[in-house]
Structure 1
Amino acid sequence: MTGQVRAVALLALAVILLPAPEAAPAPGGGPASAAPDDGPGLTSPADGPGVTLPVGALRVGQRVLVGLDGWPAGTVQAEVCGNAARRGALDCAAGAATHGQVPPSGRATLPVRLAAPPVACPCVLRVRTPTGTVAAAADLTLAGVTAPTVAPDVPAELTLVALVADDRSGPRGWFGLPGELTVRITLHNPGSEEVTDPPFQLTVGPPGQARTIVAAPTLGTIPAGQTRDYQVRVSTGAAPFGRYEVEGRIAVPGRPLAFTVQAARRPWGLPVAAAILTALLLLGRPARRSAGRRSATGTGQRSHPARHGEQRSPES
């Protein structure tokens, strides 16, 4: 029994003292866990598709080595962009782009000549696949850029210069019949770009209850810095004394314009007609009474001779 214990102990000691097996070589010939050597002056790649550039200020026309990591295998395009590539290809020197191949490992070093961007910095080096489905960019401190500065994007807008509503119902409106309002609108475009056919909505109704939709006209094109006048006809229903409210909304992208205007409807023809009719009725009543009195007086005069004659007959 003691001999068996000694044998097991010796076997365990032999296993511990055996040399560890070597790691299997990677497909590229180096250890599997080895990371690529970025070289001196290169930044560390970020998570996902990464772009690394030499540290420090660079200049137009300089050739640099750009490190790529985490990219799909295939062709990539590297280009210098100004304006932080906010507008995409419009800000990039696509005509001077550098093309290269990424192996299946997803890692590559691409020699790139730094071209002048079409617009001023802030600059970036943008790398993308031909279809643009995969893209990444790295900040680029680039000297020697002489390009126009891109004006900041200003959203289109319209301002309301004048707004007036008039009741144009005419004689129909005097008597409370369905009529029409004319809304005069003056719009100004203070921006640097023209505004073309923005959606226009109109509703009409009593104050605070303007829910009846009105067919709004097409505004057309309002050039930059120009002012245009519009006259909108709004149909109204039959109404007694009171006010109408017209609400409008012009959906300019980014800065919609809303307005409200009121107009009074006073069908004064109804009370005037009622007053005239009442006056005619009142004037007609005394005339009928006078005619009745004259008729009664004439009948009494004809009866007096008969009564006098009857009283005088005994004397005769």
Structure 2
Amino acid sequence: MRPLTYAVALVAGLALTGAPAPDPRVGLDRSEAKPGERVLVRLTGWPAGTVVIELCDAGTPPRCAVDTSAQIHLPGTGSGGAPLTVAAPPGGCPCRVRVTTLDTRLSAGAALVVTGARPTAVGAAAPTAIRPVVIADAQLERDDGWAAYFGLASRRTLVLRLRNEQAAPAPVSWSFSVGRGPEPTGFVVPPVPPDLGAGEEREVRIPVALPAPALGAYQIHGEIVTAGTSSRVTASTEHQPWGLAGLLGLVAAVLAATEVRRHRARSAPH
């Protein structure tokens, strides 16, 4: 019975300990690169979810090259990787590849020497927004091609109007998902989010694909994060492949007509 007692105690200890805390790490396949080159960013120890990868300067807060930033969705293993195109950030270098979760609670980085980048200017840190941007409007546009009417992939475009009502720039990050249930899990690959200037209002368009077979009601959810605070947007849509239904009806009618002709041929006097 003693081995069983030890096993029970071990299981109980693991249950009390719980899952290990995240230990996010960032690795690069090289330590120096030129603008326009690509470096491979390797991630380990992250929680499952979407992370933002950027090349930033050494300022406080850092200024990043948002035009070449990337977003990837990490699985439950917490490991993954993605290429990042090198572009010197607005504040110059020394530079650092910074990776953050969408809620900005976890962040890690790795130094990268950017050949030819100008040094960071010494001066006062630029202010940034401290409140989330306002979602002034949200609409969903249909973009169905002929194939969608036969149950193949269908497309939607989520059109958002974002407004920064503050007197400082607002860096934006976001993630979107699509699916049939109330909590969709299908990952949407969005464009690079824009940073909004002080008082700026901008329209952004998020392409969303409804995977084949596209049929029934769908939910689209989005999280837009600014200054560590998120705003949520939801939209619903429905897709009925009427072309497929018509095609099936036509096939059924042809089969029925063929059967009627066969029946008449068998019943006709010889």
Short-chain TM bin: 0.3 to 0.5
> Which one has more relative contact order, counting CA pairs under 8 Å at least 6 apart?
2
Between structure 1 and structure 2, the one with the greater Rg is 1
Structure (1/2) with the larger helix percentage: 1
TM-score by length of 2: 0.47
